[in-house]
Structure 1
């Protein structure tokens, strides 16, 4: 009886947790097509008018494009620099290497975007990168780099050094070894950090809100903040429709990567 009761309680707990996570997803799917959406999940009064109202907003759909530019640009900067840095830390023996990695990771967790808000704004203002996507990309990439380097180093460590030695015998230069030998073997790890970076940047609100003042340059996470009525109440028609469109790119990326890699990142090959 005790085993049966324990299993029953465990199943009930899983069901409750599943419902807890499923309700927001159900609202995200149903509310955009409801003529009068509320915070409750209910059978909708089917309409496409919410999307029509969203299309009439001069900045809404353009903000999705801004989010793509910022997310992809930050991902490219982060992955490129992290790949080079993690490979160097993996192959070059320097005193205090592991302490440096853990220190970078610890400081990136302690000094959050909120804590560094004022100096970040002053720095971007001093180099004339306020109200530019480049400034946002650099700030976001700087915050993500320590974690990405820490993750990628494990993948670089798992690449057999015999591969590189064979390439050197054939006259390959260092950048050729990195691009043609190391990167293909560590590709699952690079794909993982690339998608992780996009997900982290996609919903980031603070940095774009701080650095971007022109509505035509603001990403979707900031644009959603403006969907309020004159009395200060949230316009659920616009928010629900925009939330669905905002979530679609990340969902599509997930299915694409899951089909290609299956998220089975084992960390390379052992020599």
Structure 2
């Protein structure tokens, strides 16, 4: 290796290390601040204490908001996975005029018309359906926003499943729903896991829709309640915020690790090669 190449290699590794350090600082702060007696905005070795966790556990809104987040995320994820699987299978097997154009149009519109842009019509629709201050209303709104992308992703998995399996099942008298349940779903499980993790993560961190539709504090999820951890002087309570943020991130990280250990996120449409 020439001296010039060696210098370039050293510079490249230094830049990569600096970039990793830049992105690692917030994670270090999140790991250390909850155990610090007097956390600040800088990442440093904590003066170890568990008082922050005790104070957080005494806060009824904090624990209740985590339960609300689980309800919203699990409900939305379950509906999205079920409806996306059925719709993706139907669109994959039934030849409709303009099918692909419809899929791309739905995906494009779901990307352009975001929650912020559709805030007023969504609120009016929820009001007309008497879904204001209802967790079911939040679940339905979030499901509608996630479904187009979920269907688009799952259709690629469904397209690559062998149709000969389905034809054999039909010979033995299997109904379409039985074919989906016993033939298609086992083959596209990696895709379903991808959609489930993605849906739960999208709902778990969503602030706008629950903040817009829910009026009762006891129904608010963690993403909304986190913005209430301020002192009487209006300053952010870093001890509570950091501790709550750590607990708030545990369920999603645990779900990601579970699915990653199960499937490794090495996905292929339909069957693994």
Task: Output the TM-score relative to the length of structure 1.
Answer: 0.97
- Alpha-carbon distance in 2 for matches of 1:193, 1:49: 38
Residue 183 in structure 1 maps to residue 185 in structure 2: yes
**Correspondence for 1:260:** 262
2: CA distance, partners of 1:7 / 1:95: 55
Counterpart of 2:9?
A: 7
Task: State which drifts further: 54-63 or 6-15.
Answer: 6-15
What SS class does the counterpart of residue 270 from structure 2 fall into? coil
- Aligned residue number for residue 204 of structure 1: 206
Deviations along 1:63-82, one digit per CA (max 9) or x if unpaired, are 10100000000001111111
SS in 2 for 1:259: helix
1:29-61 CA-to-partner distances (Å, cap 9, x unmatched) read 100000110110011111111111112212111
TM-score (norm 2): 0.97
Q: Any unmatched runs of 5+ in structure 1? A: none
- What is the CA–CA distance in structure 1 between the aligned matches of 2:178 and 2:67, rounded to whole Å? 34
Residue 244 (structure 1) shift: 0.6
Q: CA deviation at 1:6?
A: 2.3
Task: Select which of 135, 141, 147 maps to 1:145.
Answer: 147
Does residue 163 of structure 1 match 2:165? yes
Distance 1:270 1:99, change over 3 A: farther
Rounded Cα–Cα distance in structure 2 between residues aligned with 1:5 and 1:194: 46
Which of 85, 89, 92 in structure 1 is aligned with 2:91? 89
RMSD of the TM alignment (CA)? 1.3
Q: Which of 50, 53, 77 in structure 2 is aligned with 1:51?
A: 53
**Alignment correspondent of 1:128:** 130
Shift of 1:232: 1.6
CA distance in 2, matches of 1:24, 1:132: 34
Other-structure match for 1:34: 36
Q: Distance in 1 between matches of 2:188 and 2:247?
A: 33
The C-alpha deviation readout for 1:181-206, integer Å capped at 9, x for no partner, is 01100111011111111111111000
Per the alignment, residue 234 of structure 2 pairs with 232
Q: Secondary structure at the match of 2:218?
A: coil
| Unmatched runs of 5 consecutive residues or more in structure 2 | none
- Post-superposition CA distance 1:133-155 (Å, at most 9, x none): 10000011110111111100000
In structure 2, what is the Cα distance between the partners aligned to 1:64 and 1:134? Answer: 17
